[in-house]
């Protein structure tokens, strides 16, 4: 059996899963909400997420992100860490959002919900070998334990908690996804296809 190299602190901190979740962004005001918008995540890390959006908020602005998780909404105090402009030809338009204050409930939810492909592969093999344990140990519980184990290893070397702040980078544009058109600008054109065999 070939062992895989350990997940480094840097890789662990910025590891992400590609996932589309409903996301509510809001800024509380003195008399209700100062700002509220809805968008969709493109990826999720333990320290932040990237949301695809047709609007861009100012870099560094503080806001609350509410993730639409299957077990209910999870609000997390956050800030806009980086932006991808509408006309970027390679990356999806949107915002990298860094989690700033993840409470104990939120931390547990993130650790249960964050299941990279290698966790899913492990779980399939686990369930195949011990099918009688699958109902008692669902993937979300196994993900919690695996995340805590990996975090424990990093912390033994002096690294941060895996839910420490850190917005993941923007994903590449999807095939056929064009940059958004801003008012007053011409729409970008799709590249012409070359005929095959000529």
pLDDT in tens, 10-29: 555 568 899 999 999 999 98
Six-digit token string for 41: 């995540």
**pLDDT attached to residue 154:** 83
pTM of the model: 0.77
DSSP assigned state of 180: P
Span 126-154, pLDDT tens digits: 999 999 999 999 999 999 999 999 889 88
pLDDT (0 to 100) of residue 198: 42
CATH architecture of the region 11-156: Beta Barrel (2.40)
What is the predicted pLDDT for the residue at 124?
A: 96
> Can you tell me the mean pLDDT for 32-52?
94
Structure tokens at 169: 């980078």
For position 1, what pLDDT does the model report?
39
Residue 58 scores a pLDDT above 80: yes
Which whole-number Å values give the CA distances from 58 to 31, 102, 191, in the listed order? 22, 22, 31
- Taking the C-alpha atoms of residue 192 and residue 137, their distance in angstroms, rounded to an integer, is 51
Q: How do the domains of the chain map onto residue ranges?
A: 11-156
């Amino acid at each position: 059996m070939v062992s895989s190299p350990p997940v480094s602190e840097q890789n662990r901190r910025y590891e992400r899963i590609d996932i589309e979740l409903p996301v509510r962004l809001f800024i509380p005001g003195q008399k209700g909400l100062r700002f509220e918008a809805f968008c969709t995540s493109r990826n999720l890390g333990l320290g932040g997420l990237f949301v695809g959006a047709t609007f861009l908020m100012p870099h560094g602005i503080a806001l609350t992100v509410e993730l639409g998780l299957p077990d209910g909404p999870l609000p997390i105090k956050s800030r806009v860490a980086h932006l991808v402009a509408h006309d970027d030809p390679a990356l999806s338009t949107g915002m990298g959002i860094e989690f700033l204050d993840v409470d104990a409930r939120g931390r547990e939810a993130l650790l249960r919900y964050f299941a990279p492909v290698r966790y899913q592969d492990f779980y399939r093999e686990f369930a195949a070998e011990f099918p009688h344990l699958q109902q008692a140990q669902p993937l979300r519980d196994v993900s919690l334990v695996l995340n805590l184990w990996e975090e424990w290893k990093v912390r033994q070397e002096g690294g941060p908690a895996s839910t420490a702040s850190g917005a993941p980078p923007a994903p590449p544009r999807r095939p056929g996804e064009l940059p958004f058109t801003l008012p007053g600008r011409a729409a970008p054109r799709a590249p012409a296809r070359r005929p095959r065999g000529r």
